Structure 1
Amino acid sequence: MKSLKNPELFRSIDSKLKLVANMVRENQPKLNPTPVPNDERIDRLHQYMVAEEPYLDPSISIQDLSDKIDMPARELSVLINHKIGLHFFDYINSYRIKKATALLKDPDKKAFTVLEILYEVGFNSKSSFNTAFKKHTGTTPTQYRKNHS
């Protein structure tokens, strides 16, 4: 009903877009004995994430990242969800946690509080940082620091 009363909602939609299910099916490897080569899009994404560290921006969105790597947001979403096997924010948080673990182990950063580190790596709250950190490492940031110092 809403779409009938507000047709402008659909004006910018590309009618040639494929369904995600069809995109995934097309990208699935065919059954053959030869290994599927690495997806160059994943390599390009990973290289960008390591070199430019866009995950440090606490307000990063999939649209921001897709603009930076010149890939349609929908294609990037399918790539992260179906090829890498993570949701967008889990993917972003994996880079944030990797950076946080490096900072927590760094003797030069010993004076930094956990709160300072979580803001430095792109988190907005201590609870979301602790949850993501424990999900990725199996321990809390404070315990991690104690075990690796």
Structure 2
Amino acid sequence: MNTDVLILVLSSLGVAQALFLSFYLLTLKKGNRNANIFLGLAIFGLTMRIGKSILNVHLNLDPWQRNLGLSGILLTGPFLWFYGKALLDAQKKFVLKDYIHIVPFVLFAFLCAIIPNDGRPISYAIYLTVFAHLATYVVFSSQVFYKHRTKVHPQRASWYRNLVIGVALIWLFYMGHLAGLFSLYIGGAVFFSVLIYIFSFLFLQKHAFQLGKYNASSLNKSASEELLHSIKNLFEQEQVFLDNTISLETVAEKLHASPRKLSQAINENENKNFSEFVNGYRIEKAKKLLADSDYNKEKIVAIAYDCGFSNATSFNLAFKARTQLTPSQYRKEFGTV
């Protein structure tokens, strides 16, 4: 087997694996549905671009076909960014206006037959603009990671960070080829193949663990929702979250349920872990006290303790993560005299 055939096989296998992963994510019903779809579309966009590289080397594609493949880059950037928001920001709700970011992809794909792609300077300018678009969204995605990296589980943050780095490396490869630093054009496809197999292994391993976490549980969806309702009633009526020693076990004991089922009910219905769930109640209580004129002389650290936090640092971090304001800023903006 000569080198060209080996490269073709490796590249084609990478594209096939990427298409499989995209299809898997787009049809997956469990877990964070938005995140699954966004990641599937981001990978599909890259697959369009990489597939174009492979086909163009061996089939000499027409300009409109090259443009259609290039349009995948305009799909990847926005959905990589959306994926980060869906994965790392539990409060984010996507609305119709968010999807204006895919308009460049739609226009480019629709106009692929008339957009120049024939080696003229304007063709290179368009090519650079498309990759500048991706670079912009890589920066946006990096900002999402930086903003939320301390608010989510480290594994989730590192997974997204590595995904962004992988896309950035593909971008660097193609820019390096354009600048003459890399002579092998299809090398980007080979590099993509390596990355997609690494990401497939890491994602499926991580996702299989998440999906299998409650496989043995006897708690169905209806019972899970009912248990969550009981948990919320307990929190709202007895305000057990004010106890800074509260644990999953103590709440489970009060509700005569197992800690595992409590964890499942919170995780499946609220998309939060127990600590995040408890802190949500504590912060809502703190917001009321900070805005209450009867507490305007109370020290913030005292309010933190009153709301169930064991120290001021964890209170400040949790409060700002949820409200985007420090407790002092919140009191200044919403407090009454």
TM-score (norm 2): 0.35
Alpha-carbon offset, residue 23 of structure 1:
4.8
Distance 2:263 2:304 in 1: 25
Alpha-carbon offset, residue 98 of structure 1:
0.4
Distance 1:135 1:98 in 2: 13
Partner of 2:267: 81
Alpha-carbon offset, residue 83 of structure 1:
2.0
Any conservation in 2 of the 1:100–1:117 contact (CA below 8 Å)? yes
Distance 1:21 1:148 in 2: 42
Alpha-carbon offset, residue 125 of structure 1:
1.2
Q: Residue deviations 1:48-67, cap 9 Å, x none?
A: 10000111111111000111
Could you tell me which amino acid in structure 2 is paired with residue 63 of structure 1? E
Closer, same or farther: CA 75–100 of 1 in aligned 2, 3 Å: same
Larger Rg: 2
Is 1:67 the counterpart of 2:253 in the alignment?
yes
Partner of 1:101: 287
Partner of 1:15: none
5+ residue gaps, structure 1, are: 1-18, 29-35
Alpha-carbon offset, residue 84 of structure 1:
1.5
Any conservation in 2 of the 1:97–1:133 contact (CA below 8 Å)? yes
Distance 1:132 1:65 in 2: 21
Is 1:22 the counterpart of 2:215 in the alignment?
yes
Alpha-carbon offset, residue 69 of structure 1:
1.5
Matched position secondary structure for 2:214: helix
Partner of 1:138: 324
Distance 1:24 1:145 in 2: 44
Could you tell me which amino acid in structure 1 is paired with residue 325 of structure 2? T
Any conservation in 1 of the 2:266–2:277 contact (CA below 8 Å)? yes
Partner of 2:298: 112
Distance 2:327 2:243 in 1: 20
Higher relative contact order (CA 8 A, sep 6+): 1
Could you tell me which amino acid in structure 1 is paired with residue 244 of structure 2? P
Q: Residue deviations 1:17-73, cap 9 Å, x none?
A: xx6331579735xxxxxxx89922221111110000111111111000111112111
Any conservation in 2 of the 1:57–1:122 contact (CA below 8 Å)? yes
**One of 27, 35, 45 as aligned partner of 2:231:** 45
Query: Which of the two has greater helix per residue?
Result: 2
Any conservation in 1 of the 2:219–2:261 contact (CA below 8 Å)? no
Closer, same or farther: CA 38–124 of 1 in aligned 2, 3 Å: closer
The CA RMSD over aligned residues, in Å, is 2.2
Matched position secondary structure for 2:215: helix
- Aligned residue pairs total 124
Sequence identity (%): 34
Distance 2:216 2:284 in 1: 31
Runs of 4+ that moved beyond 3 A:
23-28
Could you tell me which amino acid in structure 2 is paired with residue 39 of structure 1? E
TM-score (norm 1): 0.76
Could you tell me which amino acid in structure 1 is paired with residue 220 of structure 2? N
Distance 1:46 1:76 in 2: 11
Distance 1:88 1:95 in 2: 11
Is 1:124 the counterpart of 2:310 in the alignment?
yes
Any conservation in 2 of the 1:24–1:82 contact (CA below 8 Å)? no
Any conservation in 2 of the 1:66–1:73 contact (CA below 8 Å)? yes
Distance 2:330 2:254 in 1: 33
Any conservation in 1 of the 2:224–2:264 contact (CA below 8 Å)? no
Any conservation in 2 of the 1:42–1:79 contact (CA below 8 Å)? yes
